[in-house]
Amino acid sequence: MQLLLLSNSTSPQGFLTHALPAITEWAQLGTEPAHVLFVPYAGVTRTWDAYEALVADALRPAGLQLHSLHREATPLEAIARATHIVVGGGNTFALVRQLRQTGQLAAIAERVRSGGARYLGWSAGANLACPRLSTSNDMPIVDPLGFDTLGLVPFQINPHYTEAHPEGHRGETRQQRLREFALLNPGVAVLGLPEGTGLRVDGNQYTLQGDPQTPARWFTDTEAPAILPMGPWKL
């Protein structure tokens, strides 16, 4: 499988601008026509049409011309033809519900696992690649009709990971929340991806990408997480 899982899409440079070199490398566009399918369903306050236009503009410099899944008359056939599947961020619960109730969740999993399509996801799209909808930062604004997701990686991801704890804030930190997950889900690891970072998956090879000053975190139990520097990484 060829995956690129990003923590975030926005940056001071613009929408997906910070990730364009990694996206271009991931895309591996050759001489054959590419069928790039965008999944906009995590967009809630942004319409799917507007989301499609935003992502199309952002990915054009990488040589990607996409079509949104919500416009397809036969979406399952579109998934079966796709060479690249791009899943945008937003609300993960809304994303999973729409994909599950249309049968598209299983179709995407099959297409990517078979090697037929490369997978790019940020924020909610990175959550979707995990085994379960369990380490999202989103509110459950809709019933996702189940917590199983694509299972493209054998661990959970927490995008937008931060160690920040504003002065006067009395709620739990992100690290505390992920330790709660570890306590109730023994043996299930979580990768915390800070802003500006991502995970490249090439078969069984994993590479953490991004600013070396913002290392990722690896939770395996209720103790403090391990710090993972950018670069090749072995499970």
Q: Active site includes 123?
A: yes
Q: Active site includes 221?
A: no
DSSP 63-107: T--EEEGGG-SSHHHHHHH-SEEEE--S-HHHHHHHHHHTTHHHH
| Of 70, 138, 143, 211, catalytic | 138
Q: Cα dist. 218→63, 189, 209 in Å?
A: 33, 7, 15
214, 195 contact by CB (below 8 A): yes
Give all strands of the β-sheet with 84-87 in edge-to-edge order: 66-68, 36-39, 84-87, 118-122, 2-6, 198-202, 205-209, 231-233
| Of 7, 9, 123, 136, catalytic | 123
Q: For 131, left (φ over 0), alpha (ψ -120 to 50), or beta?
A: alpha
Q: Active site includes 9?
A: no
- Catalytically active residues are 123, 138, 160
